[in-house]
Each structure stands twice: as structure tokens, then as C-alpha cells.
């Protein structure tokens, strides 16, 4: 139970630090970018190194990179469907989610398994 509490504390602290960094930068749209994914990823990786070692953390880092690649596929497809094809937000996000799912698990199966 203690490692979980430490994980929450470190993760919350890192999220707050990145949120402050995002508030200091211009434009304000960077605040959301810096407060979420990078801070959680760094907190998770640092705790993984401490608890499970560097090799396991390296595997986790590769998994995060594959997730980013799949999310990029999701975002690009979603933007294309919304802007060029004039789909509704719900339809575009649901269809793009299936592309994320295929991309994420395809990368896992081909490169990470």
C-alpha cells in the first residue's frame, strides 16, 4: 500500500510542477500540454526505476513511445475526419479510437511483445 501512496504523491507533485511551468509559458494553451502526459510519464518512469529497475523501466518507456505513436495516428485521423470530411465529433472520435486501438496493439504485437 505504501508504494501506491508514494506513487500518488510523486505523480501529483510532478503534475503540479509541470502545470506551473505551463502557466509561465506563452501561449496559455501550453498549460494543458505540460500538466498531463509528460509529468505522469516522468513520475511513473522514475518510480518504476526505483521499484523495478532500469530494464523494466526501459520496457515501460518503449511502451509509452508506442502509445504516443498510436495517439498521433488517432489525432491525425480525427482532425482529418472533423475538418476535411465534416464528420461530427462523436463519430470522428469513435472511428479514430478504433484506429488508435489497432495501432497500439499492432505496435505492441509487432515490436514490444
The full set of domain ranges for the chain reads 1-52, 54-113
Residues 6+ apart with CB under 8 A from 75: 96
What SS3 class is residue 88? Answer: coil
Q: Rounded to 5 degrees, what angle do the CA atoms 53, 55, 57 make?
A: 70
HSE, side-chain direction, 13 A CA sphere, residue 102: 9
What is the Cα–Cα distance from 50 to 9, expressed in whole angstroms?
15
- Whether pTM exceeds 0.75: no
For the cut 90, the answer to whether the pLDDT of residue 48 exceeds it is no
Q: What's the mean per-residue pLDDT of the chain?
A: 82
Tens digit of each residue's pLDDT (9 = 90 or more) over 103-113? 999 998 988 87
pLDDT tens-digit series, residues 73-88: 999 999 999 999 999 9
CA 95/CA 105 separation, integer angstroms: 16
Q: Is 71's pLDDT higher than 70?
A: yes
Amino acid at each position: 500500500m505504501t508504494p501506491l501512496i508514494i506513487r500518488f504523491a510523486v505523480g501529483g507533485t510532478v503534475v503540479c510542477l509541470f502545470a506551473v511551468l505551463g502557466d509561465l509559458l506563452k501561449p496559455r494553451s501550453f498549460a494543458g500540454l505540460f500538466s498531463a502526459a509528460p509529468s505522469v510519464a516522468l513520475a511513473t518512469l522514475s518510480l518504476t526505476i526505483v521499484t523495478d529497475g532500469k530494464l523494466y523501466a526501459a520496457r515501460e518507456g518503449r511502451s509509452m513511445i508506442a502509445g504516443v505513436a498510436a495517439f498521433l495516428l488517432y489525432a491525425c485521423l480525427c482532425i482529418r475526419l472533423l475538418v476535411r470530411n465534416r464528420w461530427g465529433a462523436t463519430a470522428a472520435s469513435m472511428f479514430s479510437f478504433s484506429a488508435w486501438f489497432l495501432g497500439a496493439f499492432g505496435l505492441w504485437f509487432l515490436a514490444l511483445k
